[in-house]
Structure 1
Amino acid sequence: MPDDLVPLTDTQLLYLTRHLLDPSDLTSHCLLTWVVDGQLDREALAVAVAAVHRRHEPLQAAYRAEPTPVAQVLDVDPPPLEELPDQPSVDAAIAALRALLAGELLVEEADVWRVAVASAGPHAVIGCVVHHIAFDGWSESVLARDLATAYNAVVRGRDPASVMAAPRRLAHVHRHYVRRRADPALHARREQQRIELADVPPLRWPTEPAEAAAAGPEMIHVSLPADVRAGVRRWSAQTGANEFTVLLAEYAAAFAEATGLRDFTIGVPVSQRHDQDLDDAIGCHTALTCIRLRGAALNGGAAGVSAVGRLFSTTRDVPFQDLIPPSGQSGEPLPPIFRTLFAVQDDTSVQLPLDDLRTTFVRQPYLDLPLDLYTELWPADDGLTLTVCFRPDTVARSCAATIAGLYEGRLRPSTTGGRP
């Protein structure tokens, strides 16, 4: 196959299928927002957008299902920098940009991302949306860094291409993926997981009435200071588990306590950036797997960490698409194998260091969610940011707040519940 035609990964095929079934679907739209203090050079920003577009092939590809699912790299123009009328406040500018960027992205026509800006007094707000088929959590910091590098080059009178890293070819990246999928041990783990998930009970949320979701998903935001992160590192050293396992184990305990559930599944995004040369590449380098949590895995502390570590070691490389059983003879649709997600984003902070300007990244709720609730941890200076994003028509805000509160309590060093 020519290098400009690259087969889609399982995860990309999922996003493409969802898009083709409903082009107005927003569950795969990744939204980024920065508030800028100072005089933003909009012409320089437009040039920077074009430079980032040209560097990253996933942003200039068409994602098509026929005749075979591929990403076709095209020589398409970068998205224009869209400008909104002046807004009365920063909050109004953020809301206006959110509404603007909540439109369709026609990925089959190489319409993959958009960038817009709005002024609010002495501030400017930059908004960006990228389709998940070409993007992942790690890509946020890559895009921010490259956008700032290109912008700063322009305002200094330099060609941005001369200061940016060489382009990363999509075909080269796909070869990494093919090698991973060819692992012969994957088949055995896949069959083991299918058996493990065969009798999972349906997830039932606490019965408190939920709210209408006319405005889309809501988000609970918690800032966790440096001592929390230091405590997680200590727990990791004491248990011999990695930090992700510690964080997932304490989340499983908090989720069980908040919901009363003792047997449930959680979806977990797993990075596919197994090689360092992918660290500076924008793209969808992730897969989703599913883990069933019950018994000792809900205990937290050392016992919970040990149980969760054993479970996740057998599931982490098995994409959830491989675990979906065939539909039953009744023809009734099967329930999803998970309705919640948990992720620890291991990328660097999404900073946009523009020369002579102060910028602040604003973490917003997702434009839409394909499931009920999504809990994420993000690096923030020396600490962590915890977000619990949920559909209020399915999950009561009080339930989401209880999950966030119990989880925060288990992670804080002053508590004993999460200590190993």
Structure 2
Amino acid sequence: MTERTAPRVQPASALERQFWLGEQIAPASPANWVLAEVRADGPVDPSALDAALSAVARRHEALRTAFVIEGGQVVRTVLAEPVAEPPLRLPAGTAFADAAAALLGADTFDIAAGRVHRAAVAPDDDGTTVFLAVHHIAFDGLSQEVFATDLARAYGLAAEGRAPDLPVRERSAPVEPAAAQRTELAAHWRSALAGAADLPVPDDGPAPGQRALARAGLAERRTACPPAVWQAVCAEARRCACSPFVVLLAAYGRALAGITGGADFCVGTPVVARSAGQADELGCLINTVPVRMPELSAPGAVERVWASVRETILGSALPCDEIVRAARTVAGRRMPVFQAVFAFESWRRVEHPAGPVRMHTVPVPPVGAVAEVQLQVCELPDGTLKCVVQAPTTGAWAPRLPGLADAFRTQLGLLAAESAPPLPLVPEGPA
């Protein structure tokens, strides 16, 4: 096991600085929280699971890092040991929403003290569900897969009666664009987003301020698209020489435009900011970037969205807060640049052997409002698309979520129909 030395201090990354600032503006905001879920199928030994959870927390510096001001800047200080309470025991069969209510609260996290996570376990007849409440400053979607991989490794050792010691995974030092590259990227975004419009509020309702969004509860609507829809999405993506993400984003843009009458607005989307050497690292290693929605009603919408996505990719190295500063032209309380968010989880969810049990992650929705309206789509192993649309409970979007979910499904079908092969010609019979 790697020897630990004195606490290491590094400058926080751009995204970590954003989450730190968010805590100062709206303390204990659900928008800054994540609740991960890992399923363990088979007979689980509670003591071995507790030991495995402790081992994973010791392995990953992200789960034992404090964020403080030092020398006038936000820094991350890696602690020798994690600051966390023992795993919470939940009633058998506890569902995600009930686990969120039990784990997430105003006193769950203290990022200045390094208390950035807490676990809970809920047994049932077929195994155990592990819930991990984490502050977003230390965790992203792919971190859930890393966490499950290491939890399975540690549990397998503990189940065999061995010490579940895992080598320490040091956090990577933040890498940000140099000054000259920053200037070029800022110019790129000013040009790409010049004249872009805000997304209209449905029914001309009041536009929520950013502080109200951060503190709001969530309304949501869940739906699913069968595997045939995913197959059609992939066929349309092949026809347009792009990824299925683009087809899904185009359908979302069309649905938003149909409900609001909006045009030329932007949709924010998280993109992976992990290097090849960070594949096994816990942390918030993403950047949320805007994609400008082009003309969506006419044929060829997917190709036009794909062109916008390419422009976004070219500028994705600039942190989100700097994109906002470069492109924002009018100050206001409302979210700048984009008011809608789209996230697509398409990564492979591996089933990990862990002694007598097998572990795998479960797709989970956001637990806080990160935009005025947000859509998450997850590809399940059987090709089903799990879709969750969410909005603040007090906003104009909350009552429109069922309509938005239906509109998204409808637009997916219309876009996919563009790739359908033409009907075969039937030879005419004799006159």
TM category, shorter: 0.7 to 0.9
Distance 1:343 1:60 in 2: 27
Normalising by structure 2, report the TM-score. Answer: 0.81
Give matches, 1:351-370, under 5 Å: 355-357=355-357, 363-370=363-370
Instruction: Give 3-state SS (helix, strand or coil) of 2:249's partner.
Output: helix
**CA offset digits 1:142-184 (Å, max 9, x no partner):** 11221122112211223333xx5x44322xx236x33xx2395
Instruction: Give 3-state SS (helix, strand or coil) of 2:287's partner.
Output: strand
Q: Which amino acid aligns with 1:282?
A: L
- Aligned-residue offset at 1:417: 5.8
Residue 250 (structure 1) aligns with: 251
Residue 174 (structure 1) aligns with: 173
**CA offset digits 1:65-91 (Å, max 9, x no partner):** 33222211110235343334646x534
Equivalent of 2:101, from 98, 101, 109?
Answer: 98
Structure-2 change in CA distance of 1:97 and 1:331 (3 Å): closer
Which segments of 5 or more consecutive residues in structure 2 lack a partner in the other structure? Answer: 1-5, 207-211, 422-431
**CA offset digits 1:303-327 (Å, max 9, x no partner):** 2222122222222314331233489
Residue 219 (structure 1) aligns with: 220
Structure-2 change in CA distance of 1:329 and 1:262 (3 Å): closer
Residue 192 (structure 1) aligns with: 188
Distance 1:20 1:346 in 2: 33
Distance 1:160 1:234 in 2: 45
Give matches, 1:10-409, under 5 Å: 10-34=14-38, 39-67=43-71, 68-77=73-82, 79-84=84-89, 86=91, 90-91=94-95, 95=98, 98-104=101-107, 105-119=109-123, 124-161=128-165, 166-170=167-171, 173-174=172-173, 177-178=175-176, 181-182=177-178, 187-207=183-203, 216-275=217-276, 277-295=277-295, 298-299=296-297, 303-316=300-313, 317=316, 318-325=318-325, 333=333, 335-349=335-349, 355-357=355-357, 363-383=363-383, 384-409=385-410
Distance 1:241 1:330 in 2: 34
Instruction: Give 3-state SS (helix, strand or coil) of 1:114's partner.
Output: strand
> What value does the CA root-mean-square deviation take over the aligned residues?
3.6
- Aligned-residue offset at 1:268: 1.3
**CA offset digits 1:14-42 (Å, max 9, x no partner):** 10101123332221110123566664322
Which segments of 5 or more consecutive residues in structure 1 lack a partner in the other structure? Answer: none
Q: Which amino acid aligns with 1:273?
A: R
- Aligned-residue offset at 1:138: 0.8
Contact 1:148–1:353 (Cα < 8 Å) also in 2: yes
Give 1 or 2 for the bigger CA radius of gyration: 2
Distance 2:139 2:57 in 1: 13
Structure-2 change in CA distance of 1:300 and 1:17 (3 Å): farther
Equivalenced residue count is 404
Distance 1:32 1:357 in 2: 19
Moved more, 384-393 or 75-84: 75-84
Distance 1:43 1:155 in 2: 9
Structure-2 change in CA distance of 1:347 and 1:139 (3 Å): farther
Contact 1:53–1:78 (Cα < 8 Å) also in 2: no
Q: Which amino acid aligns with 2:75?
A: V
Contact 1:227–1:413 (Cα < 8 Å) also in 2: no
Contact 2:144–2:361 (Cα < 8 Å) also in 1: no
Instruction: Give 3-state SS (helix, strand or coil) of 2:265's partner.
Output: strand
Distance 1:259 1:328 in 2: 22
The share of aligned pairs that are identical, in percent, is 25
- Aligned-residue offset at 1:364: 5.0
Distance 2:376 2:121 in 1: 27
Q: Which amino acid aligns with 2:69?
A: A
Normalising by structure 1, report the TM-score. Answer: 0.83
Contact 1:23–1:106 (Cα < 8 Å) also in 2: no
Contact 1:35–1:126 (Cα < 8 Å) also in 2: yes
Residue 429 (structure 2) aligns with: none
Contact 1:224–1:385 (Cα < 8 Å) also in 2: yes
Distance 2:104 2:238 in 1: 43
Q: Which amino acid aligns with 1:314?
A: E
- Aligned-residue offset at 1:381: 0.6
Contact 2:65–2:76 (Cα < 8 Å) also in 1: yes
Residue 3 (structure 2) aligns with: none
Distance 1:378 1:152 in 2: 28
